[in-house]
Structure 1
Amino acid sequence: MAQTREINPILKQVLELGPTLAFFVLYIRIKDDVFAFGGTEYSGFIVAAVLFVPVLLIAMGILWALTGQLSRMQVFTAFMVIFFGGLTAWFNDERFFKMKTTIVYGFLALILLIGLLRGRSWLEYVMADMMPMEHEGWMILTKRLVMAFVTLAVVNEFVWRTMSTEAWVKIETFGFPLALMGFLMWQFMQLQSYVIEDEKDEGAS
């Protein structure tokens, strides 16, 4: 098994978030353009969505080369982007790429829900080393995160079906990530009573 290597956290963030920001910038620049390939016309959105695929794969390749690992979530996201990006290009229909977000959030909710039904928090399994917390706290957080993912999936369906493509791109790029980050920060503050304090810190206090 390859050993995990630490890299500069700023570089890590650039590689993880850069492709999405690149998609946003590219879309804004070519959103009103029409491109013809093989006798078929494609909107700027579809071209940006298709180009997002290699940009994401290159960033993931660099991240893997530098760290020696990729998370299951990163691999799953890449698969979804490739699959729905391919459908978007093949059918020349931007709806496939927009539905990707709904399916990703729905899948995450389903996976966590399956764990809950089995009396387990798979969040605890993945994140316990980063944030030691009592099992009850992880169960509460997992239940709330299931509801959050379901909410994001429903909101995405509402946004892409009722709003403009530009509005969806902005919400997809900034709105959903910021909402999820804010939700998690709020939950970690709410669940502080379940956090397991480090024994050294307790002794020093």
Structure 2
Amino acid sequence: MTDQQHIFEEAPNTPGHKALNPLLKLALELGPLAVFFFANSRGEALVDHFPALAALGGPIFIATALFMAATVIALALSWALTKTLPVMPLVTGVFVVVFGGLTLWLQNDTFIKMKPTIVNALFGVILLGGLMVGKPLLGYVFDQAFKLTDEGWRKLTLRWGLFFFVLAGLNEVVWRLFSTDTWVAFKVWGTMPLTIIFMMAQLPLLKRHSLEPFGED
């Protein structure tokens, strides 16, 4: 097997797969979002300390630039620690850089607001499309936290695929009908709690299809 085949993290249950601490993996995936929220809410204070940031525009544009930087750093750290790239964060990162770049270039925050809609819809298509060809791709995301049967990964992938479409629809409603600050707050205090609630609702499925005693190392 060539080195190129190891650029991306391997499929679930692959022998010899190098695991990353689940809490560290979560921090790398959610850290950029926390940076985005903080920078948007404290944009003026950041400009006071770092005047060069004023050239980017208002708080949403400063937050977008720092979001892009934090996303690239998180992916670089993932590569440094495992010598592989996490598939779904990588896809998100590409869209963050592209849409963030358009946002800064055109000074139009519509692009960064549309990014979650497009990314979530894309994830939904990828997950459900993967199931259609017999590939439960969600295992790439959670295989270090859970060890499930193939049937378990299929069912979990189906549920997450549908949930991503729900998130895409919610993002469209919020960014189109509410203020920028409300939309940013929704990304952290709306999307994250909804995702946590959804994850908790999957516990019975995880217990039924776990390959090892659930909740034990």
Aligned to 1:131: 147
CA deviation map 1:124-147 (0-9, x unaligned): 576567322351x43332222222
**Match of 1:76?**
91
Residue of structure 1 in register with 2:29 after alignment: 16
Identity between Structure 1 and Structure 2 (%): 37
Counterparts in 2 of 1:46 and 1:150: CA distance versus 1, 3 Å: same
1:74-94 superposed Cα distances (whole Å, 9 cap, x missing partner): 211111110000110121110
1:162 corresponds, among 167, 171, 177, to 177
Change (3 A) 1:63 1:165: same
Counterpart residue number, 1:55:
70
Count of residue correspondences: 194
C-alpha contact 1:116 1:143 (8 A) present in aligned 2: yes
1:5–1:66 CA contact under 8 A, matched in 2: no
* Distance in 2, Cα, partners of 1:12 & 1:134: 23
Alpha carbons of 1:87 and 1:121: their partners in 2 closer, same or farther (altered >3 Å)? same
Aligned to 1:111: 126
Matched residue type, 2:40: Y
Distance (Å, rounded) in 2 between the aligned partners of 1:15 and 1:124: 18
Q: Indicate the structure whose relative CO is greater, using CA pairs within 8 Å and at least 6 residues apart.
A: 2
One-letter code aligned to 2:39: L
2:57 counterpart SS class: strand
Q: What aligned pairs does 1:1-205 form with structure 2 within 5 A after superposition?
A: 1=3, 10-30=23-43, 37=55, 42-124=57-139, 130-133=146-149, 135=151, 137-190=152-205, 192-197=207-212
What's the TM-score, normalizing by structure 2? 0.75
Q: Partners of 1:102 and 1:50 in 2: how far apart?
A: 19
* Cα drift, residue 12 of structure 1: 4.3
RMSD: 3.0
Q: Which has the larger radius of gyration?
A: 1
Shift in Å, 1:7: 5.9
